[in-house]
Every structure is written in structure tokens, then in C-alpha cells.
Amino acid sequence: MRGQHYDNKQDAQSLRRIRIPAARGEIIDRNGVVLANNRPSYDIAMYLDQIGRVSKKTNVVQIAQANLGALNAALGTTITLSSNYVQAHYAERRPLPLPLLRDLQPEMVAAFVEKANTIPGTDLIVMPVRQYPQGTLASHLLGYVNKASDNDDDEIERFYYYQPDSVGRQGVEKACDEYLRGSPGGRTILVNPGGTVAKDLGEKDAEQGGRVTLTSTRVYKESWKMPSRA
């Protein structure tokens, strides 16, 4: 009698939306020299809802540790996860990826890709990382960024996998944050009852943030000139 209702409910459970954060825009000086841009970071994460069947006899910590052991054996790493950390993530942040390794070197990326099908629930994620090509030059002016901590709960609920944006905390990064931030994208996938991707239903590309060009350095030097001593 309520077949359509349960069909719709099943479809909703099988469709998963992945939030794709946008890369921040560049900061350049008046001569076009790049002062801030992005580079790719290749990270490995574990999805606790895809690691295997959890039951009264086999809990999520046991399965996660077993899969982590397989990952360590494949890559020659020594990653450890505390039981409390795994349980807290499973209870409170299950839809979100559990980070294991960040910023992998190319040879480790290749090793993971070769062995990935033998390590359930793990995936390779490419994330934009802020970098400053000129080193510490004008670091007091440019400021810095970190991950947003004030995400909209309603937005998190709309995505099965949520990856936050980077936001400016000081300097130009903060003052021009609304211009440097882009628009996040998204990807919708269809998964089977075991949590494996069955079909890719489409993707909306994230839009990179705008470029900010600084004005003459003379303006900054004059505005920050130390007062003369009496």
C-alpha cells in the first residue's frame, strides 16, 4: 500500500552527495608576481560506513584496525588510531572521511592506487593546500588560512561527505576572504547496499575564488612607517 513511499526512501538512502570545496584565488603583487596560490595535496581517508559489516560480534574498531593494518602493510607506514577516536567518529561524524595520511609523495600515491582494492573503505582525496611561493616575504601582510570551523549545520546535512573550505584568518587573506573564496561544487553517486559506488550520477565543478591584486608597495610602507622618536 505504501510502495511508492518506500521506493522513494530507498532511493534517498542510496544517493549520496559529496561536497567539493573550492580552491582559493591567487594573491599577486602589482607586477603580477604570485604571492599566494594553491597546490594539490593527496590524502588517504577511511570511510567508516564502508569498511565492512558491523555487528555485535565484530565492532567498528576491530574492522577499522584490521583495515588500517592492511594499509600499513601495503604502504610500509605505522599509522595508529585510538579506539576512542574511532568510536567517536563513528558515532558523531560517520558520513565524513576519517583522515589517515596527508600530503603523500607521488611514490606513495602510486603504491596506494595499486593496493586500494584490497583495503576496504579507504580512498584517495585530492585537496587544495594554500602555499606562499615567495616564502616569508610579506607574511605579516598576507596573513594565513585554516579550515572553517563554523560551517552551517544545514549545509552539512545536505551532503553525505562534507569537506570544509579554507578561510582567511589574518591579513589580506582575511580582509579579502569573500573575494578569494570560491563556490563549492558537489558530486552525486548511487551506492549499492554494501556502500560501493554503483553509478556516478553527475558532478558540479567547484568554482575557484577570484584573484586579488595588491597595490603599490609604497602605499603600505608609508602607512606603516614608524613614528619618529622625540
Tell me whether residue 9 is in a domain: no
Query: Do 230 and 43 form a contact (C-beta atoms < 8 A)?
Result: no
The answer to whether residue 41 sits within a structural domain is yes
pLDDT tens digits for range 150-187? 555 555 556 655 667 788 999 999 999 999 988 888 87
Supply the pLDDT for residue 165.
79
Is residue 215 domain-resident? yes
For the question of whether the overall pTM of this predicted structure is more than 0.75, the answer is: no
159 near 17, Cβ under 8 Å?
Answer: yes
pLDDT at 53: 67
For residue 70, is it within any domain?
Answer: yes
Instruction: Indicate whether 8 belongs to any domain.
Output: no
Q: Is 230 inside any structural domain? A: no
Least confident of 9-13, 48-52, 204-208: 9-13
- Domain containing 61: what range? 15-223
What does the pLDDT look like over 59-102, one tens digit per residue?
888 888 988 998 999 888 999 989 999 888 887 777 677 889 99
Count of the separate structural domains present in the chain: 1
pLDDT of res. 131: 95
With contact defined as beta carbons under 8 Å apart, do 186 and 20 qualify? yes
Dihedral in degrees, nearest 10, Cα atoms 34, 36, 41, 46: -160
Q: What is the CATH number of the domain that holds 81?
A: 3.90.1310.10
CB 75 within 8 A of CB 108: yes
- The whole-number pLDDT of residue 173 equals 94
- What lies within 8 Å, CB to CB, of 47 at 6+ separation is 97, 98, 121, 122, 123, 161, 195
Alpha helices per DSSP H over 15-59: none
DSSP 8-state code for residue 24: P
Confidence label for 229 from pLDDT (cuts 50, 70 and 90): very low
| 21-64 per-position pLDDT tens digit | 888 999 999 899 999 999 989 999 988 877 766 666 668 888 88
Beta partners for 39? 129
- What pLDDT score does 62 carry? 87
Quickly state the pLDDT bin for 220 (edges 50, 70, 90): very low
